[in-house]
Chain A
Amino acid sequence: MIGFCGLTLAHPIVNGSGTFDAIAAQRAFGDALIQDFPFSAFVSKTITLAPRDGNPPPRLWETPAGMINSIGLPNRGLEGYLEHDLPLLARLPVPLITNVMGSTAEEVSRLVEAIGERDEIAAIELNVSCPNVSTGLDIGANPESLGALVRAVRPLTGKPLIVKLTPNTADVANVAVAAENEGADAVSLINTLRATAFDPGQRDTPRPWLGGGTGGLSGPAIRGVALAQVASVAQRVGIPIIGMGGVGTGEHAYDLLSAGAKLVAVGTENFRDPAAGSRIAAELKSLQIAETPSTSVKMAQAQVEVDMNSSD
Chain B
Amino acid sequence: MRVTAPFGRRRVTLTSADDVGAYRVLHAADPDGPLPWPGQFYMLASAERWGAGHDERPFLPRALSFLAATDGRLSFMLEDVGPGTRRLCELGAGDELWLTGPLGSGFTLPDDEATAARAILAGGGVGVPPLAAWAAALAGSGLAVEALLGFRDAEHAEGARLLASVDVRVATDDGSVGHHGLVTELLAAELDRDAAATVYACGPPAMLEAVRALCNERGVGAQLALEAGMACGFGACFGCVVPVRDDGYVRACVEGAVFDAGRLEGVPAH
Contacts and interface: CB of A to CB of B under 8 A. Distances in A.
Contact of A69 (B239, B242, B248): B239
B265 to A, nearest CB: 12
Interface string A26-67: 011110110010000000010000000110011110111111
A77 interface: no
A71 B237 CA distance: 8
A59 B237 CA distance: 9
A28 B249 contact: no
Interface of B: 2, 4-9, 45, 51, 55-61, 98, 100, 103, 228-242, 248-249, 251, 254, 268, 270
5 contacts: A24-B236, A57-B249, A64-B55, A69-B239, A219-B59
A272 B61 contact: yes
Contacts of A19: 236-237
Given A64-B55, A67-B60, A30 B4 contact: yes
A274 interface: yes
A45 B59 CA distance: 23
A58 B229 contact: yes
Closest 3 pairs between A and B when the two form their complex, measured CB to CB: A24-B235, A64-B56, A275-B8
Interface in A239-290: 268, 270-275
A23 B235 CA distance: 9
A25 interface: yes
Given A33-B7, A59-B239, A271-B61, 14 more contacts: A18-B238, A21-B235, A24-B236, A29-B8, A30-B4, A53-B248, A53-B249, A57-B229, A57-B239, A57-B270, A60-B237, A62-B59, A64-B59, A272-B45
Contacts of B8: 29, 36, 273-275
Contacts of A275: 7-9
A232 B60 CA distance: 30
Most interface-central of A21, A27, A64, A274 (chain B CB within 10 A):
A274
Given A57-B268, A57-B270, A66-B59, A29 B6 contact: yes
A28 B5 contact: yes
Given A24-B251, A29-B4, A57 B241 contact: yes
B123 to A, nearest CB: 21
Given A57-B241, A71-B239, A272-B60, A27 B254 contact: yes
Nearest to A27: B254
Contacts of B229: 57-60
A271 B236 contact: yes
A131 interface: no
Contacts of A67: 59-60, 231
Chain B interface mostly: loop
Contacts of A270: 232, 236
B35 to A, nearest CB: 15
Interface in A8-23: 18-21, 23
Contacts of A59: 229, 238-241
B232 A271 contact: yes
A74 interface: yes
A134 to B, nearest CB: 29
A60 B239 contact: yes
B60 A29 contact: no
A62 B4 contact: no
B47 to A, nearest CB: 12
A27 B7 contact: no
Nearest to B251: A24
A60 B249 contact: no
A39 to B, nearest CB: 12
A65 B242 CA distance: 26
Contact of A28 (B58, B234, B240): B234
A24 B254 contact: yes
A65 B239 CA distance: 18
A279 B240 CA distance: 26
Interface string A214-246: 000001100000000000000000000000000
Contacts of A268: 231
B270 to A, nearest CB: 4
B255 to A, nearest CB: 9
Nearest to B8: A275
Contact of B249 (A27, A29, A54): A54
Contacts of B232: 270-272, 274
B45 A69 contact: no
Nearest to A23: B235
A67 B231 CA distance: 9
A20 B234 CA distance: 9
B239 to A, nearest CB: 4
A249 to B, nearest CB: 14
B77 to A, nearest CB: 22
A173 to B, nearest CB: 30
A28 B270 contact: no
Nearest to A74: B238
A29 B268 contact: no
Contact of A27 (B2, B98, B238, B241): B2
A20 B7 CA distance: 13
B60 A274 contact: no
Contacts of A25: 234-236
